[in-house]
Amino acid sequence: MLENFFSGLTKEIIISVILIIALIIWRFTLKKSANRIARIGDFNIGRTKLMFKYINVLVSFIMIFALMFTWGVQAEDLVWIFSSVFAVIGIGLFAIWSILSNITSGVIMFFSCPFKIGDDIKIHDKEHPIEAKIEDIRAFQMHLRTSDGELIVYPNNMVLQKPISLIKKEGA
C-alpha cells in the first residue's frame, strides 16, 4: 500500500528534491556573497550574521512557496491564503511600520554604509546634533557613544535620513 502511494507521487518527490537542493545551493551562494561583501567592507561579524538570518528567511519563504506549487496547491488557493495572511500581517505591521523601516535600513546600511564600528561620526540634526563613536550597528538601531560616555541608541532609518559626516575612521 505504501509502495502504491509513493509510485503515484514520483514526479512530485523528484521535483521537491531538486527544488530543495537548488534552494540550498542558492542559499549557500547568497551567504558566500554576503560574507565576501562583509570581508571586503571589513564589516562586523554580528552584522554579517544578521544578513545570514535574512537570507535564511527569504530562501525558506521561497522554498515553501515552490513546494506548495509542486504538490498541487492551486494558485487560487494560495491567493486566498496569502491575502488573508497578508491582511492580518498588514494590519499588525501598520502599527509597527517603523520596525520594518529600521530593518530595511539595516540591510541597506550593511551593503552601502560608508562608516563602520569604531568610526567617529557627526549627525547633522538641527535640533539635536550628535557627535559620537559608533559602538555597534544592529538590526534596528545604531549604538553611539559620546565623548561624555553617554550611550545614544539611534534608529537605522534616521541614519539614512540625516546627513552624517565621518570625522575619523577607526585606526586612522
Scan for cell 540550498, then name that residue: 24
Q: Are residues 33 and 90 in the same domain?
A: yes
Tell me what the mean pLDDT of segment 125-136 comes to: 91
105 assigned to some structural domain: no
The C-alpha atoms of residue 75 and residue 79 are separated, in whole angstroms, by 6
Q: DSSP letter string over 9-66?
A: THHHHHHHHHHHHHHHHHHHHHHHHHHHHHHHHT--HHHHHHHHHHHHHHHHHHHHHH
Among residues 52, 56, 34, the alpha carbon closest in space to that of 43 is found at 34
Tell me what the mean pLDDT of segment 25-42 comes to: 88
Q: What's the chain's average pLDDT?
A: 83
Q: Are residues 28 and 86 in the same domain?
A: yes
Q: Are residues 123 and 51 in the same domain?
A: no
pLDDT in tens, 63-88: 888 888 888 777 777 777 778 877 77
Give residue 147's domain range.
Answer: 114-168
Tell me what the mean pLDDT of segment 79-100 comes to: 74
Q: Are residues 163 and 87 in the same domain?
A: no
Amino acid type, 123: I
The CA dihedral of 137, 139, 140, 143, to the nearest 10 degrees, is -20
Tell me what the mean pLDDT of segment 145-157 comes to: 93
